[in-house]
Amino acid sequence: QSALTQPPSASGSPGQSVTISCSGTSRDVGGYNYVSWYQQLPGKAPKLMIYEVTKRPSGVPDRFSGSKSGNTASLTVSGLQAEDEADYYCSLYAGSNNFFGSGTKVTVL
Amino acid sequence: QVQLVESGGGVVQPGRSLRLSCAASGFTFSSYAMHWVRQAPGKGLEWVALITYDGINKYFADSVKGRFTISRDNSKNTVYLQMNSLRAEDTAVYYCARDRVVFPTGALGYWGQGSLVTVSS
């Protein structure tokens, strides 16, 4: 089973940027481009924010962006707003398997 | 609009079985792969299972392999998760989810509200 490692927490003041990393290996993150990011508010179902590393579903603000370098994918939230405070999860789809990262709690100071 | 509604959760004793259902509407159900994802209380997301659009291919997380099965009835627009030999560590909210597009990429653009399963004696 793959393990996608995320920092447990990240924070920033309103208007600042925060970047969350999702680290894997060449056998998972480094080998596939089906990396997605989800936002989860307390008590709610996750919401898809980024798919295929860099793409945004319609309705997701362009403050959210994704990237990948080597075995690490990243989600950047620019111009932080209070409503961005949530848990964020990366995930990787590798055909017959789907893995989630450990999750990062983003706090807006 | 796309709607996914889970049902069948509840309290069950260790070793017993439970079946979850997920009723879909607002899209051509028979064209999409469907997933189950769970979240233990206060913990992160864990992918559980995937079934392809035609029900032929099924994939499971190692943690549930051999105990859980996934099936679908395209005539009823419903996907099921049969959970056998339940353990305390299976306690979680179970979500069904759909890929954004017909070709599965793991980008789960639609989720149900979740169904709580509690395994306890």
pLDDT tens, N- to C-terminus, chain B (121 residues): 999 999 999 999 999 999 999 999 999 999 999 999 999 999 999 999 999 999 999 999 999 999 999 999 999 999 999 999 999 999 999 999 999 888 888 999 999 999 999 999 9
Give the list of residues 6+ apart from residue A24 with CB closer than 8 angstroms, or none.
A2, A3, A4, A5, A30, A71, A72, A73, A92
| Chain A residues within an 8 Å CB radius of B63 | 1
Name the residue among B25, B14, B106 with its Cα closest to residue A96: B106
Please tell me whether residue B76 adopts helix, strand or coil conformation.
coil
| Inter-chain touch A57–B100, beta carbons under 8 Å | yes
For A:7-66, CB contacts with B below 8 A are: 34, 36, 38, 40, 45-48, 51-52, 57
Q: What separation in angstroms does the CA of A28 have from each of A98, B34, B45, B102?
A: 10, 22, 18, 23
Is B111 an interface residue toward A (CB < 8 Å)?
A: yes
Query: What is the CB neighbour count within 10 angstroms for residue A1?
Result: 9
pLDDT of residue B103: 82
* Mean pLDDT of the residues in chain A: 94
Q: Which residues contact A4 (CB under 8 A, 6 or more apart)?
A: A22, A23, A24, A28, A29, A90, A91, A92, A99, A100, A101, A102
Tokens 């208007």 belong to A15
Is any Cβ of chain B less than 8 angstroms from the Cβ of A74? no
Nearest-neighbour CA in chain A from B36: distance (Å): 10
- Spans in chain A with pLDDT lower than 70: 1-2
| Dist. CA B103–CA A16, nearest whole Å | 36
Question: Mind listing the pLDDT tens digit for each residue in B80-107?
Answer: 999 999 999 999 999 999 998 888 889 9
Interchain contact, A48 vs B95, CB within 8 Å = no
Would the CB atoms of B108 and A46 count as touching at under 8 Å? yes
